[in-house]
Structure 1
Amino acid sequence: MINKQKWTSKNDSGFSPFDLAMMILSLVSVAIVLTMTFGELNQEIYRLMLMIDTGICIIFLTRFFSGLVTAHNKKHYLVNHWIDFIASIPAIEALRFARIFQILRVVRLLKMSQSILLPLIKQRAKTTLSSLMLAMILILSFSSIFILLVESGAPDANITTAEQALWWALVTISTVGYGDYYPVTTAGHIIGSVVIISGVSFFGIISGYMASVFVAPDEADRIEAQEERADIKSDIEHALERMEQNQQHMEKTQLKMEQNQQQMLSEIESLKSVLKQKLHNNNKQD
């Protein structure tokens, strides 16, 4: 049986969207390392993959140290996440394969959390941020690799180095398009079209997310005001109900008092009648 506490720190509430994003990045990184190790790559493709892997390592290190800073028990966090730090060290190929343990750790979290969609739905803000970060990294990485693969061997190509490929991918996804570097092959044009469409969609999602961030507080205030009005209405209805019950009780009490008063008057009249009769009998005897 898996000990859940062993695989989570006190500041981890089980599986989170960032864990899933880190697992996907770990898979991408392992694939890049395997390609760099066993693939026959030219120098520029190798340099580009090394730059991408280094960028992913920086993200892993940022995630590790941010978790360490926010952890309530830092010793417990280090004991359970030291492999994340080892796997995040760049430029050492032997250590990069330790990212497989990162993947296994997230897989265990997924098994313990019974459902993947439920945490993603409950943590919508984290899901959106992690999805945007992951999409940006994947689009930049794969578009720069593919464009360099198809353009580096073409005549009159101007995207021939790792830096040029990354720069082209960045300005294309941002839809700026300086025009200093551009594809000259048909495959490069297709890749550029896909990157442009992805960039437009990407920044459209960012705009929608930022709008929701600013609108959400107003919506929350509106919902809170509605709840307050509903509470006030409920209190007024309860007060009116209590007043009505008190009025009914007072009416019953008043009716009972009137009945008692009638009974007392009747008894007084009966006593008067008896007294008069006795007085009359005494007068006769005298």
Structure 2
Amino acid sequence: MPLAGKVAIVTGSGRGLGLSYAQELARQGAAVVVNDVDADVAAEAVASITASGGKAVAVVAPVGSTETAKTLVAAAVENFGGLDILVTNAGVLRDKSILKMTDEDFDMVINVHLRGTFTCVREAYAYFKENNVAGRIITIGSPTGQRGTFGQTNYAAAKAGIVGMVRTWALEMKRAGVTVNTVVPVAATAMTKTVPYFAKAVEADERGEAMPDFFRKTLGFGTADDVAGLIAFLASDAAGKINGQVIGAGGDRLQLWSHPEAVATEFRDGGWDTASLAESFESLFGDKLQSVGERFPELPAELAPEPAAK
């Protein structure tokens, strides 16, 4: 087992994607600190791991504060003798278009996703550096942070911010032998369950059946377990040379996302003033402007959602 003797923290791991990550880390040999805000859910997650012969304890606390981050690291050290792996999965959604989004909606999502990732990573890295541990940090991104999604200003900002922090941390932590990467999951979750486009995939998953090939192969959309293997791999010694990367996983698909690069460059003697931009911008860059949002292929007729009853 590649993670035998390792200790992991997985935030937001009471259910969904986080639970799959925690269970897979345990299957690969790691002892796991489970985290959730619901004590009953956290206890069930721990039980699911220990019933299979794994080791796990729960920390019931909302992610975001430095206090919670310290509590998580302390739980790993006190219960299992150390810390080797951190997966920052905890998150919430408060989806609204910008004119309807309140300060509270924005702050809640930023606090859990962005600040929660920052505080937990800072605390884990401090432990790694002080104890000479070549740790593994895996943050969770989203296609929304890469491409944007209508009604998710707060979520897009948080997920894009996480990737920006990871690129910086990869530079800062390299000398200590710590790796930090982002995983972009594309899987059936509580959020995608409400989207009609994914209805047939989610329904198949809930029946315990394989999702149709269109979702798994064409769309790269699958189950939480399809992502968990990538999490465990990045946590292992085999991934020691992978650092500062954004890697997508979903269904049968694996993706390596590029870092932002200029797609076109032009120079003009004396620089670019208003008049020269008005005259030249369209001819120079008009056919190179970048798209926003995700574009999904049309669903095959047999996978289209059932029409709503009148």
TM-score (norm 2): 0.24
- Which has the larger strand fraction? 2
- Which has the larger helix fraction? 1
TM-score (norm 1): 0.26
